Chain A
Amino acid sequence: MIVCITARAAGTEAPVEQRFGRAPYFVFVDTETGKSESVENPLVDAAGGVGPRAAQVLSEHGATVLITGQVGGNAARALGMGGIKAYAYRGSGSVADALVAYTAGNLQPIPLA
């Protein structure tokens, strides 16, 4: 399973970013192999409509779980239709910390359309 965590920088030690569409980095972690890939988000400075576009980036990387702070309405619809489940991490920890919290079942699901 591939989990995407929104981050402020590359790598699993980077702090989690609370915003979804305008997160500077998407860190994709394969929970079977433990391998991670950090993808710079080209939408950081986009004018609008970042939610659906970010959802497509996740879909293209095969992610089925998203860990972030919050998602907007358009993003929620795109994630929901794409079969990607979203979980809220509101702490100030790293990508690795968020993943531990998710694996332990401590994160609340974000309702999607």
Chain B
Amino acid sequence: MKIAIASGKGGTGKSTVAANLAYTIARSRDVVLVDCDVEEPNLHLFFPAPAVDVPVTTPVPEIDPDRCTLCGECGRFCRFGALAVVKDCVLTFPHLCHSCGGCTLVCPQGAIREVPRTIGRVACSRPLPRLVLVSGILNEGEVQAPAVIRAAKMFAEGHPLILYDASPGIACPVIETLEGSDFCLLVTESTPFGLHDLRLAVEVAETLGIPAGIVINRSDGEDAATVAFAQEHNLPILMTIPFSREIAAVQNRGGLIGRDLPGWEERFTDLFTGVSP
């Protein structure tokens, strides 16, 4: 089973839920936790352990100047500006390339081949006997988050139980993370902004045909709007985490409430049961 943890709004507690859920599950069975928030991965902070790094590369164009006639087709084709033909040379801007391969197809001279370029890495570690952590890490200034997410997910592929921690938002990186998931846990907070972005995230999960459930984090007890929205969309509220200084304190020192606060291991076990009855 593959469970994605997403939110729409940033800072609602995706990583908190993912880390505690993984910790709780790993008390009794094997689980792989994949940090798909590749622009700002943070799950390693909850699970410090030595990691093995594997580079992630993506194909970018390389021009053969002997074959190139400077016709300009590649530059006119590339919508990302990764190639430009100016005067007597072809310039490449590899950091703008989205690796679609189109330039190699439109070049009438066959003067373009693709060469690998490192854009990030995947770090694998085993912080607990039954927990493997796979973190996707996109290098600063790079745009191809989905390629690193794809690589990180591939490392976990084939495992019977995988958790994907998504990035905030609902753009390409989140779609890439949700792809192939069996369930989507949507973490929200009881604020108008939290609800607004939850709506967007629910729409994404519905469009992708992935069953979803809601976790309300930092609840101040006034969750009526979120609860009404959940009922309207037939979504179960699987867990409510209160707005509490005690929880924040554990979280802020990199702790796990499922390990450090009494009662929370049971609640995360219940959460897992709610997702995977």
16 residue pairs from A and B, CB less than 8 Å apart = A48-B81, A48-B96, A49-B78, A49-B82, A52-B81, A52-B82, A52-B93, A53-B84, A56-B84, A56-B85, A56-B86, A74-B93, A78-B91, A81-B89, A82-B84, A82-B87
- Is B259 on the interface with A (CB-CB < 8 A)? no
- The binding surface of chain A is classed by DSSP as helix
Q: A52-B81, A53-B78, A84-B86 are in contact. List 20 more A-B contacts (CB 8 A).
A: A47-B79, A49-B79, A49-B80, A49-B81, A49-B93, A49-B96, A50-B81, A52-B82, A52-B91, A55-B86, A56-B86, A59-B84, A59-B85, A74-B81, A74-B93, A77-B93, A81-B86, A82-B84, A82-B87, A83-B87
The CA of A78 and the CA of B81, in the complex, are separated in Å by 10
Per-position contact with A for B236-261: 1 when CB-CB < 8 Å, else 0? Answer: 00000000000000000000000000
Ranked 7 nearest A-B pairs via Cβ: A49-B81, A82-B86, A52-B84, A52-B81, A59-B86, A49-B80, A56-B75
Asked whether B233 is an interface residue with its Cβ less than 8 Å from the other chain, the reply is: no
Residues B85 and A77 in contact, CB atoms below 8 Å apart: no
By beta carbon, the residue of chain A nearest B70 is A59
Neighbour of B87 across the interface among A53, A74, A81, CB < 8 A? A81
Asked whether any CB of chain A lies closer than 8 Å to the CB of B25, the reply is: no
In the complex the two chains form, what is the Cα distance from A96 to B58 in whole Å? 46
- Residues facing A in B69-83 (CB within 8 A) are 72, 75-76, 78-83
Interface size class on chain A is: 20 to 34
Query: A32 on the interface (CB 8 Å rule)?
Result: no
Known contacts A48-B96, A56-B85, A56-B86: A77-B91 contact under CB 8 Å? yes
Which A41-60 residues have a C-beta within 8 angstroms of B?
Answer: 46-53, 55-56, 58-60
Across-interface contacts of B76 in A (CB, < 8 A): 56
- The complex places the Cα of A55 from the Cα of B82 at a distance, in Å, of 12
Chain B residues contacting A56 (CB-CB under 8 Å) are: 72, 75-76, 84-86
Tell me, in angstroms, the Cα distance from A81 to B91 when the chains sit together: 8
Closest residue of B by beta carbon distance from A52: B84
Whether A53 contacts B81 by the Cβ 8 Å rule is yes
Decide yes or no whether A79 CB sits under 8 A from chain B: yes
- A82 / chain B contacts, CB cutoff of 8 Å: 84, 86-87, 89
Which residues of the other chain, B, contact A59 by a CB distance below 8 angstroms? 84-87
Contacts of B84 in A (CB 8 A): 52-53, 55-56, 59, 78, 82
CA–CA, A56 and B34, complex, Å: 42
Q: Are B86 and A46 in contact (CB under 8 A)?
A: no
- Do B96 and A78 touch across chains, with their CB atoms under 8 A apart? no
Question: B82 contacts which chain A residues (CB < 8 A)?
Answer: 49, 52
Chain A residues with CB under 8 A of B78: 49, 53
Question: CA separation between A52 and B96, bound complex, in Å?
Answer: 10
- Complex formed: what's the CA distance from A56 to B86 in Å? 5
Residue on B with the closest CB to A21? B81
Question: What CA separation (Å) do A78 and B78 show in the bound complex?
Answer: 15
Give the shortest distance, in Å, between B76 (CB) and chain A (any CB).
7
Question: Smallest distance from the beta carbon of B189 to chain A beta carbons, Å?
Answer: 30
Q: Which of A46, A48, A56 has the most CB of B within 10 A?
A: A56
Instruction: Report yes or no: A79 in contact with B81, Cβ–Cβ below 8 A.
Output: no
Q: Which residues of B contact A79 (CB under 8 A)?
A: 86
Given the interface pairs A49-B96, A52-B91, A52-B96, the reply to whether A78 lies near B86 with Cβ below 8 Å is: yes
Cβ contacts under 8 Å, A58 to chain B = 86
Cα-based distance from A59 to B80 in the complex (angstroms): 18
CB distance from B106 to the nearest CB of A (A): 14
The docked-state distance in angstroms from the alpha carbon of A79 to that of B96 is 17
